[in-house]
Structure 1
Amino acid sequence: MKNINNLYWMAALCLLFSCAKQKFNVQADGSQNQKQLQSSPVGDVVGKITVGYQGWFACIGDGSPINAWWHWAPNASQQPSNSNNGIKSWPDMREYTASYQTGFSNLGYGQQAKLFSSYNDQTIDIHFKWMEQNGIDAAALQRFNPNGWEGPIRDAITNKVKIAAEAHHRKFYIMYDVSGWTNMQSELKTDWTSKMSAYTASAAYAKQNGKPVVCIWGFGFDDNNHPWSAAVCLEVINWFKAKGCYVIGGVPAHWREENSDSRPNFLQAYKALNMISPWMVGRIGNINDSDNFYNNSNVPDQAYCNANGIDYQPCVLPGDLQERQRAHGDFMWHQFYNMIKAGCQGIYISMFDEYNEGNQIAKTAENVSMVPSGGNFLALNEDGINCSSDYYLRLTNDGGKMLKGQIPLTAVRPTEPVIGGVI
């Protein structure tokens, strides 16, 4: 009987040890590291391409609540011009039915220099049409503090985005940018419960793991514009999770190391997120930068997320056109290649329509004939390679196909700058 009991306990101990081995890797030095946890299944953000969507342009005379040159000019009460310019890249305006006269000289081919307003229904509809045509799965609609003078137009834009996403079978979700939001902790919750949560009833609102997606951009950044403690940020994250949300964090590039652009002692807040999306604009500007970040940050970031059951959604950016970063698409493609090779769960494109900061993928002036004369705007052919205005949309389409396994992983950009041209 004693021998039988001994055998029973030995079998039980073996089973217990086997279960423990499934959860932990025992290292040679005796330390225990948790094995990779299962990442989320493909949903509306996992396995998908998401673009950051600002929708933050307005013009005097467009009927918007603010009636100003919002984000087009530093003095929003006056037309944008050479002396009042907030624009870095000039949009391709050929498809817009409504446009507004600026103070710039005519375009190189003689047309008047006009700009679009995001408040116009056709503007957002055409942007989502471009997303549909180019395999962009979701748009993260940026929402800054809505309690000031911008609030009414941001509310209006949200509804217009919903309508366009539904019409073009795209997904969207709210991405709160908390930069400079003094009373963020309480007002964010009020805004969600009183206004934004209603949008989750739309079939176009993004769901992941059966939960509505919400992103909070700005927790943990080590500057005066993002002053909250880790405890405050963790409380907000957990509040949204308790409301049944899948929470993405737009976090500093060095979040895992808690240094450089990240505040120290924030790791517990970062770990509470369902998905982590480190900000890369201003961190890389060429292919060598991308490779250095891949080796030193992206690969260990991905490993950390895998070990902690967090989905990883790195940024891919086209590059600042006016800083000549784009290398006719090679810079952006190399990021696609690196992030997919690392095993990312999704990709965030920064940004779709950010003409005022030069990081847009939406249709952009192809050459000097499509920008105001004497305005010093670089066009997509700035390095001598002709590119169609939709080139970065098409490049994003191919990057999405590679993420989804529809084309092989390749370091060589398969997208031609001009259809019918050469790679």
Structure 2
Amino acid sequence: MVAGCRIAYGTASSAPQVSASDDVVGRITVGYQGWFARIGDGAPINAWWHWAPDSQKAPSPTNKGIKSWPDVRECSRTYPTDFPNLNGVEKAALFSSYDQQAVDTHFAWMRDNNIDAATVQRFNPYGSEGPTRAVMAQKVRQAAEATGRKFYIMYDASDWTSMQSQIKDDWTSKMKAHTASGAYALQNGKPVVCIWGFGFNDNQRPFAPAPCLDIINWFKNQGCYVIGGTPTHWCKGEGDSRPGFSDVYHAFDMISPWMVGRIGSTAQSDEFFANVNTPDQPDCDAHGIDYQPCVMPGDLQERHRAHSDFMWRQFYNMVRVGAQGIHISMFDEYNEGNQIAKSAESSAQVPAGSGIWALGEDGTSCSFDYYLQPTGDGGRVLKRQIALTATRPTRPRV
């Protein structure tokens, strides 16, 4: 992408000049965790992975790792838990991401709602989770190929002390092979890789600028288009950003600032639009960098969603700021309650006494697939297929 290559949207904004071969610019990408498993499902990790804090015991009201309850009616294989029955009497069961059918189903939901691409979340693959994550990358590849979706690797640098050497080895020995797939995302003709976590001002990501810059340049020398999952306040180098990382941020081909936990209302979205996103875009333009801000459905358990008004306000603001792409955080993040994947739509579909809110928590009845629909509509606005409007076009239930 060449800096300044934009198409005007009315008088208030601009838009990416999109080629039919672009898989990130002008597209909607969702973060796909794919990190749920169950003892005995065949996954090498052999645990209730991410479903329960004590992963050697079944999920229960006292061993609960999730904030939202998934809708599993389209999963051919589910696993009973120690939660009470759902309020609607059915047994409380969960899916495993290790079942190919579950991943295929999730990618079919993406296809049916015009979601273009998904990131494969890849944490430190040299620990106990490594073998399972390697298989999950292959399962995502198979699902993307079957549904006509694109996928790419998103490395998460969190708690990865030997990252500088190991990330290069992992790409060369394992993940690069996936770029041979016709479903692997390309931008400007280059395979896409995202590295999330450089510059964050916390103990999980204590890296200095030099090793971060080394990694970015190494991937670019491998012929990759490199996205940076950066702190929210990367542009000013304050708040959640360490100082002295400007050269690191400006080395990326695309910047995707993190937003989870930063806002929870339409008013806060407007505040960030004015004070954060609006300064971000011209800085990216000046350095020839594409801008891919996050859009979130909101933490369901914290009751942020307002039957999608919160999510739609973010779409409205990010399109009018001129973003080149949008990253949805996240597709299947049932742990933080920020999922757009199909979920319990009413109290009858959550375990009795669990305290978990369903999609209709604010009194507006929402269908179980509702948050997939405004995601698709947001993509149509980004692509100029429907008009930009401050009022969401999606109804909670059809």
Give the match for residue 358 of structure 1: 337
Whose relative contact order is higher, 1 or 2, with alpha carbons under 8 Å and at least 6 apart?
2
Q: Are 1:324 and 2:306 an aligned pair?
A: no
Task: Tell me, yes or no, if structure 1 residue 73 matches structure 2 residue 47.
Answer: no
Q: 5+ residue gaps in structure 1? A: 1-34
> What residue identity is the alignment partner of 1:264?
P
Structure 2 residue aligned with 1:263: 242
Q: Distance in 2 between matches of 1:406 and 1:189?
A: 39
* Residue equivalent to 2:23: 44
Deviations 1:33-75 (A, max 9, x none): xx84677744100000000000000011211111110000000
Give the greater-gyration-radius structure (CA).
1
3-state SS, counterpart of residue 50 of structure 1: strand
Aligned length: 386
Superposed, 1:24-423 pairs within 5 Å as 36=4, 41-42=18-19, 43-419=22-398
Return the alpha-carbon distance in structure 2 between the equivalents of residues 396 and 188 of structure 1. 31
For 1:41 and 1:194, how far apart are their aligned partners in 2? 32
Alpha-carbon displacement from aligned partner over 1:100-139 (angstroms, at most 9, x marks no partner): 1100000111110000000001000000000000000000
SS of aligned partner of 1:322: coil
- Following TM superposition, the consecutive aligned residue runs of length 4 or more in structure 1 with deviations greater than 2 angstroms are 35-42
Q: Report the Cα offset of residue 93 of structure 1.
A: 1.3
Structure 2 unaligned runs (5+)? Answer: 7-15
Question: Within 2, Cα distance between the matches of 1:386 and 1:157?
Answer: 34
CA distance in 2, matches of 1:241, 1:188: 14
Structure 1 counterpart of 2:13: none
**Secondary structure at the residue paired with 1:250?**
strand
SS in 2 for 1:75: coil
SS at match of 1:255: coil
Deviations 1:361-420 (A, max 9, x none): 00000001000001111000000000001000011010000000000010000000001x
TM-score for both structures, normalised by structure 1: 0.90
> Any idea what the Cα deviations from partners look like across 1:336-385, whole Å, max 9, x if unmatched?
00000011000000000000110000000000100000111100000000
More helix by share: 1
Q: What is the rounded CA distance, in whole Å, between the counterparts of 1:346 and 1:392 in structure 2?
A: 19
DSSP 3-state at the match of 1:139: strand
Aligned mates of 1:417, 1:183 — CA distance in 2: 46
Residue 190 (structure 1) shift? 0.2
RMSD (Å) for aligned C-alpha atoms: 1.2
* 2:301–2:356 contact (8 Å) kept in structure 1: yes
